[in-house]
Amino acid sequence: MNDLYFLIQQMMLFSVPLLVVAIAGMFSERSGVVNIALEGIMIMGAFSGTLFMHLNQTNGGLSGYPLLFASMAIATVTGMVYALFHAFASIEMSADQTISGTALNLFAPAFVIFSARSVIGIQQVNFQNTFLIQSVPLLGDIPIIGRMFFQNAYLSTYLGFLILIIASFVLYKTPFGLRLRSAGENPQATDAAGISVRKIRYAGVLISGALAGLGGLIYIIPVTVTFNADVAGYGFLAIAVLIFGQWKPSRILTSALFFGLLKTISASYSGIQFFFNLNIPQVIYQVIPYVATLIVLVISSKKSQGPKALGEPFDKGKR
């Protein structure tokens, strides 16, 4: 039973960042803009957030949850600003959205390393993790469920599920969500209805950037105390989660939990007696998430139904 509790707790830590970043991609791609820059945006968000923590913890500034909330806000804003470059290239310049996203992915690690060395002298940004919640008051005492979901957890776990609920509501229950989906499916009809496709797509990409930047910090905090310009390919894995989830929040949740479970087995198999006793080489566990990603994408690719206008620059004169 202890192994099951450990597995569930670890799965939450790996699944929630995937959930948040995949939802980030959903907002952009539902508006019609391909966003493969999620990896780069995560790196930028994680860097700004951890650097802020490092500077405050080193110089005696903010601490505790005020520091965590401030760091999250900075990561969110950084992601949004970085995504603005992708939005401008894709919407204003009608650039190839795949190339634009690739450029942002390549630029982010180099910029982060340069900035870290310039500010603190080394490229590794260290911070103290003081944000683990040993037990949520009252909820942590619930039999079975309390130990699974409300002990040894992070605030980011609950924030991820809150983002899922809000994203579902915005997408399906608000006029903005309707316009966002319309811009990604039939931008010409959206424009004919008097709605600015350009503004809607800007909003979609900027929301995407904000959530991806936040997702970068959410990923880093539980797994390490040193950020080294890397998020372990989580941005690319989130794209797989998005495709497997069919660009729908509820399916994205299922997909994120599935990939999070694989990632947990990969990273923590030695702490789970069942998997440890199998005596399978470590490298097999390490490649499981990526092999599974390839298999799932091959199987689901024929059934994937992305937004019809995804990746197509909007041409107002095209009817």
Asked if 78 and 50 touch (Cβ cutoff 8 Å), the reply is: no
Q: At 300, list the tokens.
A: 């689901």
Q: At 258, list the tokens.
A: 């599935």
For residue 318, being part of any structural domain is answered with: no
For residue 246, being part of any structural domain is answered with: yes
pLDDT tens digits along 223-272:
889 999 999 888 998 998 998 889 999 999 999 998 888 888 887 777 77
CATH of the domain at 70: 1.10.3470
For residue 48, being part of any structural domain is answered with: yes
Asked if 231 and 46 touch (Cβ cutoff 8 Å), the reply is: yes
pLDDT mean over 15-43: 95
pLDDT, mean over the chain: 90
User: Quick one: pLDDT at residue 6?
Assistant: 82
pLDDT tens digits along 73-131:
999 999 999 999 999 999 999 889 999 999 999 999 999 999 999 999 999 999 998 89
For residue 312, being part of any structural domain is answered with: no
For residue 172, being part of any structural domain is answered with: yes
Q: If you search the block for the tokens 């497997």, which residue do you land on?
A: 244
What's the number of domains the chain is made of?
A: 1
pLDDT value at 319 more than 70 = no
Asked if 184 and 15 touch (Cβ cutoff 8 Å), the reply is: no
pTM: 0.93
- Domain with 136 in it: 1-303
pLDDT tens digits along 207-237:
999 999 999 999 999 888 999 999 988 899 8
For residue 317, being part of any structural domain is answered with: no
User: Quick one: pLDDT at residue 102?
Assistant: 95
Measure the CA angle with vertex 46, ends 40 and 49; round to 5°.
140
pLDDT value at 59 more than 80 = yes
Distance (Å, whole) CA 313 – CA 195:
16
For residue 309, being part of any structural domain is answered with: no
Backbone angles phi, psi at 205, to 5 degrees: -70, -40
For residue 173, being part of any structural domain is answered with: yes
Report the run of H or E that residue 88 belongs to, with start and end.
none
